Amino acid sequence: MSHKAAFEALDRTLQDSRNNKKIMGRVTLLMAGDFRQTLPVVPRGTRADVLRACIKSSYIWQHVKQLTLTTNMRVHILGDPLAAQFFNKLPDIGNGKLPQNAEDNLHHLPCGNMTASFEELKSKVFPNIATNYKSHKWLCERTILAPRNDSVDKLNLKLLTQLQGPECSYRSINCVPDQQQATHYPVEFLNSLQPPHILYICVYNSETIT
């Protein structure tokens, strides 16, 4: 969501360019956004500062006509009952009405399947990976998402051990061409960049891939 100052600057620009003192120079402006998802970014600001930066705090807001979407077209077209269940629960999640589990004091999403270990996750997403990995189509149909890159690296390494064929490792360059700049880019920093400093790849015969 853009800062209200951006909309107010656009308002003044349109008024000047169109020589019209009406709001937005009497131009119809279509805006899209969700205050629940993306609020304006105020560096080191308080909640009050963020609210003051919203377009709702601007004189422009009284001229805005809100149109609300009522049908999730992605859920409607796919016809996935789990996706529909998740969509229906989104308002409860946003309003903080999702019930809390008494055992661990966590909010459990009422959809999807839970796994207790990596082995169970692997068998659910990549069943029989030791043989099925040879099919490009099979690989393209599945993936595991994670919130952190280090979690992705750990999952990749564990999955690589399930594949047949020799394993190769590639290391990134951990030095800079200009030695005068070396103090600004220590080895530890260069090794921490993404993609990983050490990249492991399983080598296989391309003729066996379908």
Stated as kind and residue range, the H or E segment containing 5 is helix 4-18
What are the beta bridge partners of residue 199? 170
How far is residue 148 from each of residues 52, 155, 169, measured CA to CA in Å?
32, 11, 22
In this prediction the pTM is 0.48
Write the pLDDT tens digit of every residue in 50-75.
999 999 999 999 999 988 888 878 78
- Per-residue pLDDT at 35: 73
8, pLDDT greater than 50: yes
Distance between CA 143 and CA 125 in Å, rounded?
7
Average pLDDT of span 145-174: 81
